[in-house]
């Protein structure tokens, strides 16, 4: 199944600070088959299906951004691979790879569906995937994800590697939870040719735990690793917010995403669209633009393109992530699963 292109082309999207917006992250669903305790409450209330964009609408929205200069497209969730018909959407979007309008089509996943889908994803032009994995211990993995199945994820990782897809593992650094595993995670990844990126926990959405107890500054993590590993600066870039270092002992890379201890906004080239068509110009700000209304108002993309361009003129210089220690409230009320990982 293919969805039709709109034959409109516009100049690149430039924000008020001269940054070219060339990277779009699109959440295709707010639903997930895990309930990671730092990300979601165990009993989540998900969006009514009528509010969620159809696959055809998601395709049309992504295409509008591609026609305006977006070169990298990442599908997220929730868990994107639990969205019914997701392979149909990915297959359709892959036409932008064939036409060279898009440089990369990728996704971020918890890995639960990769065993079944890795071969199809590879055949559709997906060459690189980020897998979120916070523990290599089955018992701890179960505690963190609540609903996750460790073997299912491990099988998915092996299936993706066997299909020729390059993987990067993302691990949220959780104080008192997984900090004793970081060396093992480095070895696990680098022995398989995978990069590993550590992420600071982000203050988004109300959860069942106190984030102050979980927060581990990556500056501290980096110092701890330097006592056992030789960390060498790397110029490697993926288009995302991570800064990378190479480990002399393995030759592999580790990345650090530090929304709390280091503001990485000066080179931000990204915007995010939720599964309801809400465009967030910054993950750490609440300003947003509704793209669903113009998308559904006309078969033409004129209103949609106008809304996108106007929104980019409001992209802020940086985010305002902070954990409110006085009230123990997240600085951003929406859950990460709503905006997209």
Taking residues 15-30, report their average pLDDT. 95
Write out pLDDT tens, residues 72-105.
999 999 999 999 999 999 999 999 999 999 999 9
- State the chain's mean pLDDT as an integer: 88
Write out pLDDT tens, residues 178-195.
999 999 999 999 999 999
Is residue 189 marked as binding? no
Is residue 78 marked as binding? yes
Is residue 137 marked as binding? no
Give the separation between CA 274 and CA 192, rounded to whole angstroms: 33
Sign of the CA dihedral with 331 first, then 333, 339, and 340 last: positive
Residue 247 has pLDDT above 80, yes or no: yes
CB 77 within 8 Å of CB 29 = yes
Write out pLDDT tens, residues 131-181.
999 999 999 999 999 999 999 999 999 999 999 999 999 999 999 999 999
Residue 202 has pLDDT above 90, yes or no: no
CB 101 within 8 Å of CB 66 = yes
Residue 325 has pLDDT above 50, yes or no: no
Residue 64 has pLDDT above 80, yes or no: yes
Residue 329 has pLDDT above 70, yes or no: no
Strand pairing category for 323-324 and 329-330: antiparallel
Give the separation between CA 335 and CA 202, rounded to whole angstroms: 10
Is residue 132 marked as binding? yes
* Predicted local confidence at residue 339, as pLDDT: 61
* Predicted local confidence at residue 40, as pLDDT: 82
Is residue 115 marked as binding? no
* Predicted local confidence at residue 203, as pLDDT: 60
Is residue 314 marked as binding? no
Taking residues 49-53, report their average pLDDT. 94
Give the separation between CA 79 and CA 337, rounded to whole angstroms: 8
If phi > 0 it is left, if psi is from -120 to 50 it is alpha, else beta; for residue 199 that is beta
Is residue 270 marked as binding? yes
* Predicted local confidence at residue 267, as pLDDT: 74
Is residue 31 marked as binding? no
Write out pLDDT tens, residues 28-48.
999 999 999 888 888 888 899
* Predicted local confidence at residue 285, as pLDDT: 79
CB 28 within 8 Å of CB 58 = yes
Is residue 125 marked as binding? no
Residue 25 has pLDDT above 60, yes or no: yes
Q: Which residue has the higher pLDDT, 127 or 341?
A: 127
User: What are the Cα distances from residue 229, in Å, to 30, 86, 150, 221, 246?
Assistant: 38, 40, 28, 12, 10
Is residue 172 marked as binding? no
Is residue 240 marked as binding? no
N-term to C-term CA, the chain = 27
Give the separation between CA 155 and CA 11, rounded to whole angstroms: 43
* Predicted local confidence at residue 43, as pLDDT: 83
Q: Which residue has the higher pLDDT, 89 or 243?
A: 89
Q: Pick the most confident of 51-65, 225-239, 266-280.
A: 51-65
* Predicted local confidence at residue 260, as pLDDT: 58
Give the chain's domains with CATH numbers.
Answer: 13-173+268-339 (3.20.20.70)
* Predicted local confidence at residue 264, as pLDDT: 56
Taking residues 273-282, report their average pLDDT. 96
């Amino acid at each position: 199944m293919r969805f039709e292109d709109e034959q409109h082309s516009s100049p690149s999207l430039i924000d008020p600070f001269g940054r070219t917006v060339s990277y779009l992250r699109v959440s295709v669903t707010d639903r997930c088959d895990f309930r990671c305790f730092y990300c979601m409450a165990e009993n989540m209330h998900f969006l009514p299906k009528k509010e969620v964009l159809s696959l055809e609408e998601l395709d049309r929205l992504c295409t509008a951004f591609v026609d305006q200069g977006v070169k990298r497209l990442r599908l997220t969730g929730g868990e994107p691979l639990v969205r019914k018909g997701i392979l149909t959407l990915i297959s359709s979007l892959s036409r932008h790879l064939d036409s060279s309008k898009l440089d990369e089509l990728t996704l971020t996943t918890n890995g639960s569906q990769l065993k079944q889908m890795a071969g199809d994803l590879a055949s559709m032009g997906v060459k690189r995937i980020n897998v979120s994995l916070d523990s290599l211990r089955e018992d701890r993995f179960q505690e963190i994800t609540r609903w996750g199945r460790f073997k299912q994820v491990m099988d998915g990782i092996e299936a993706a590697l066997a299909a020729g897809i390059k993987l990067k593992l993302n691990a949220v650094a959780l104080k008192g939870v997984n900090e004793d595993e970081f060396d093992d995670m480095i070895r696990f990844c680098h022995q398989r040719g995978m990069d590993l990126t550590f992420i600071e926990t982000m203050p988004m959405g109300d959860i069942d735990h106190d984030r102050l107890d979980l927060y581990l500054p990556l500056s501290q993590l980096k110092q701890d690793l330097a006592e056992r590993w030789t960390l060498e600066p790397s110029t490697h870039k993926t288009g995302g917010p991570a800064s990378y270092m190479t480990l002399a002992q393995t030759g592999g890379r580790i990345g650090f995403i530090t929304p709390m201890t280091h503001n990485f906004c000066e080179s931000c080239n990204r915007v995010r669209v939720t599964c309801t068509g809400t465009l967030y110009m910054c993950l750490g700000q609440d300003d947003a633009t509704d793209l669903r209304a113009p998308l559904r108002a006309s078969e033409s993309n004129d209103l949609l393109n106008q809304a996108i361009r106007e929104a980019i003129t409001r992209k802020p210089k940086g985010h305002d992530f902070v954990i409110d220690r006085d009230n123990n409230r997240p600085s951003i009320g929406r859950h990460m699963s709503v905006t997209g990982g």
